[in-house]
Amino acid sequence: MERRKIYQSIAAAGALAIVLTATSALAQGRINITPYIGVGVEYDSNFYRTEDKKAAVTTLNISPGIRAVYKTAKTKLTVDGTLERHDYDSSDDPPYGGGSVSDYSYTGGKVNLDLTSQITDRLTVGVQNGLRVTRDPDYIDAYSNDVGRGKYTTNTFSPNIYYDFGNKFGVGARYQNGLIRWSENGGEDYSENRGVFNLFYNLNRSTAAYLEYQIWQGSYDGRSSDYLANQVTLNAAKQINYFTFTAGAGYYSRSFDESGLSSINGMTWKVLVDGRDRGEDEDRKPRSFVHLGLIHDLNSYGSGDSYYAATRLELRGGYMFWSKLGISGMAMYQNSDYQLNPSDRTDDLYVLSAQVGYEIIDNLMADVEGGYRNRNSDAAGQSYDDTFIMAKLQYAYSFGHE
């Protein structure tokens, strides 16, 4: 039944895209369509992220896709879909025993839809839907600390609305339905229904404050306890030339249906600094960008009642030279302090990576990225390290204009 809901959401999103695109002539809209294809190879020294019995794996990736952007004076629709084929090869056996690494080869992909429409001068509505089929454990949760390579599907459907009362006040609300469905014995299926409510106050043209309240129900189809979560935060944002500074703090409370589990309560906070070239088209990559984030929060998906307070420090940045050569890098540290199961476990995760991209000819990009991951855990068998390097060629060609 839940899997059917995923397909229904995708079908509804696709139908909406077709209707809007078909009426483009009447609405005098503009449409841009960009087919693309990527071919890449990746090497991981510890593909399964295990402490012992490491398996070095080489992956061949082929990823054709298409991106369509439709615009009118007050509406913008973006649909981006990619089919991803992953073929694995290794002389090492998987650490879980049995079979070969090639048995994990699979076809996955992702489809993202983003629609925003300004109904009146004050009212704006929108909807986002994101579908992904993957074996990458990093997409399970925003603060993922997982290492398994089971195949799973995620889908997030989120309609939203914003009303501007004038120069000072605005209110916003959105509903979010999230699903995680496993194709193999990798974890428990999960569903989430979340409501988010915001009250905005604009102090001036560059400074704003907003109060946010979230309430959601997390449900599992296995042994993990369902839960009810509440979270309230007070936030402020300030724009100074190239940079936007954001800070916020609040309180969360999470109660569980199982009587033997204690509630989890605590503080959540964040400090963010984002910078990008002013005047750049929002649909194009800026010539330079930087992101610095320090966040403390609780993970949402906790199969096995494994919840942890995550404290994450992240730095990202990049610069484009001569419109041909681009460099970027990322450094991330996350401390995961487990609250329930096991309550005495603490992990420290470090990730470093660097990327170089070059436009060989018009529309043909070559990228090389290398990096290192290391997790130190005080729980037996939970530490690992992994060195990775990947190279990719991607060709994209646009029709129409935005």
pLDDT digits (tens, 9 = 90+) for 43-72: 999 999 999 989 999 999 999 999 999 999
Helices (H) then strands (E): counts for the chain: 2, 19
Taking Cα atoms as reference points, which of 291, 295, 323 lies closest to residue 309? 295
What pTM, to 2 d.p., does this model score? 0.88
Which of 35-39, 133-137, 161-165, 397-401 has the weakest average pLDDT?
Answer: 397-401
What spatial distance separates the first Cα and last Cα of the chain, rounded to whole Å? Answer: 39
pLDDT digits (tens, 9 = 90+) for 4-19: 444 444 444 444 444 4
Q: For the domain that residue 365 is a member of, what is the CATH number? A: 2.40.160
Quick one: pLDDT at residue 93? 85
Sorting pLDDT into bands at 50, 70 and 90, what band is 349?
Answer: very high
Mean pLDDT value across the chain: 90
The pLDDT of residue 22 is above 80: no
* Full domain range(s) for residue 185: 2-400
Q: pLDDT grade, residue 98 (50/70/90)?
A: low
pLDDT at 243 over 70: yes
Q: Any residues with CB less than 8 A from the CB of 273 and at least 6 apart, and which? A: 243, 244, 245, 246, 290, 291, 292, 293
The number of folded domains in the chain is 1
> For residue 161, how many C-alpha atoms fall within 13 Å in the half-sphere facing its CB?
7
